[in-house]
Amino acid sequence: MQPTFLPWIGYFDLIDRVDAFILLDDVQFQKQSWQQRNKIRTPKGLEWLTVPVITKGRFGQRIIDVEIRTDSFPDKHLKAIVQHYRKAAYFETFYASFAQLIKHAAATQSLCELNILLIKWFCQEIGIHTDLIRSSQVEPDGARSERLVHLMRHFRATEYLSPQGSREYLLDDALIFEKAGIRVTLAQFNHPTYEQVYSPFQPFACILDLFLNHGLASLVLFGPDALSHYHFNRCKTMKALSINMHKIGNGHPVYIIAEMSANHHHDYEQAVGIIEAARAAGANAIKLQTYTPETITLDCDSEAFQLTGTLYEGRTLYDLFKETYTPWEWHAELKRKAEKVGLDFFRHHLIILPLIS
């Protein structure tokens, strides 16, 4: 994929789905394309943010050679972003860092550097750990599909995941990939609907729109497969850690924690049975929730504390937690029972009101 300016979320979804993502920085620049502009959400709909570049007398220049005409353009962009996103949920959290980065990137006077620095920053913030590689580091031969095959062979890749927009020429060039033993797959991406500053929702804004509205949860909104890709990619870069005798990390078995919650129905023997069943099922640990009704809510029957639309219709939160909590006097003995059968023991503390008071 070409390094584009503030890409849309489908671009990042593609990065997240592959082992290596090649940035085609040595292909021909296209004026007024996504390479130098993208859209933000405004009350009027989607409006352009464009990076001014030098094109006169430079027809046919490569993306890597395109110079930014003035490095002061971020001031105009940032003014628009403040105007339209200052009420976004994560504006205060991330705006300052983004503003600092785009000014620094613009100072390189290179459109390619600007785009790649921004892409890397969003990947890092959202939690995408795919390797980003510049095609100019390889200097592939040929045109279009031949170049792609050259790159694939260089990195010993066996499958090429492509955006839908390339369908037509990939079908035309199918034989080239087939002869090279490379499988071609067209990525499917269903654009999610999410909360924006303005209504109604409009898709296909740049990544900044999703990020300022949803922060670090942005990757989860990419689609149903995103979480599995996220956890897989995190595991590839995660350092191993130990819990008792268990090693956790890349190359080690999955560490399974069973949740007891309120499933004991206030029957101690049933709680012990849950521990034994968890061990028999292959769990490595058991987790209890540590609270009493008094530590998590108020004994109050006002409307705000009434339960509606559930199995506990007409009852209060206090009644619910009184029925479901695990008595604290059980905990020490349950810990001994867990350790006796070979389970690690965790307690999740839900103690709120005493801390507030």
- pLDDT 10s digits, 315-352: 898 888 888 888 888 988 999 999 888 889 987 765 55
- Evaluate whether residue 2 is within a structural domain: no
Q: Are residues 251 and 230 in the same domain?
A: no
Out of 187, 217, 236, pick the residue that ends a domain: 236
Q: Are residues 232 and 276 in the same domain?
A: no
Q: Are residues 231 and 268 in the same domain?
A: no
Q: How many Å apart are CA 100 and CA 337, to the nearest integer?
A: 55
Q: Into how many domains does the chain fold? A: 2
Q: Are residues 267 and 198 in the same domain?
A: no
pTM of the model: 0.65
Q: Residue 273 is part of which domain span?
A: 241-356
Q: Are residues 264 and 154 in the same domain?
A: no
pLDDT tens figures, 107-140: 999 999 999 999 999 999 988 889 999 999 988 8
Q: Are residues 33 and 165 in the same domain?
A: yes
Q: For position 238, what pLDDT does the model report?
A: 53
Q: For position 305, what pLDDT does the model report?
A: 87
Q: Are residues 30 and 99 in the same domain?
A: yes
- Count Cα atoms within 13 angstroms, Cβ side, for 203: 9
How would you class 111 by CB atoms within 10 Å of its CB: exposed for 0-12, middle for 13-18, buried for 19 or more?
buried
Strand, helix or coil at 306? strand
Residue ranges with strand state E in 43-180: 45-50, 131-134, 159-162
* Tens of each residue's pLDDT in the chain, 357 residues: 999 999 999 999 999 889 999 999 999 999 999 999 999 999 999 999 999 999 999 999 999 999 999 989 999 999 999 999 999 999 999 999 999 999 999 999 999 999 999 999 999 998 888 999 999 998 888 778 898 999 999 888 999 999 888 888 888 888 999 999 999 998 888 888 899 999 999 999 999 999 999 888 787 676 555 544 444 444 444 566 778 767 777 667 788 999 988 778 888 999 999 999 999 988 889 998 888 888 888 888 888 888 887 777 888 988 888 888 888 889 889 999 998 888 899 877 655 555 444
Q: For position 357, what pLDDT does the model report?
A: 46
Block residue for tokens 């670090």: 216
Q: How many Å apart are CA 65 and CA 67, to the nearest integer?
A: 6
Q: Are residues 283 and 151 in the same domain?
A: no
Q: Are residues 193 and 334 in the same domain?
A: no
Q: How many Å apart are CA 108 and CA 114, to the nearest integer?
A: 7
Q: Are residues 36 and 153 in the same domain?
A: yes
- Evaluate whether residue 254 is within a structural domain: yes
Give 351's contacts (C-beta < 8 A, 6+ positions apart).
290, 291, 295, 296
344 backbone dihedrals φ, ψ, rounded to 5°:
-75, 155
Q: For position 120, what pLDDT does the model report?
A: 96
Out of 175, 203, 236, pick the residue that ends a domain: 236
- Evaluate whether residue 311 is within a structural domain: yes
Q: For position 350, what pLDDT does the model report?
A: 58
Q: Are 162 and 187 contacting, i.e. CB atoms less than 8 angstroms apart?
A: yes
Q: Are 4 and 34 contacting, i.e. CB atoms less than 8 angstroms apart?
A: yes
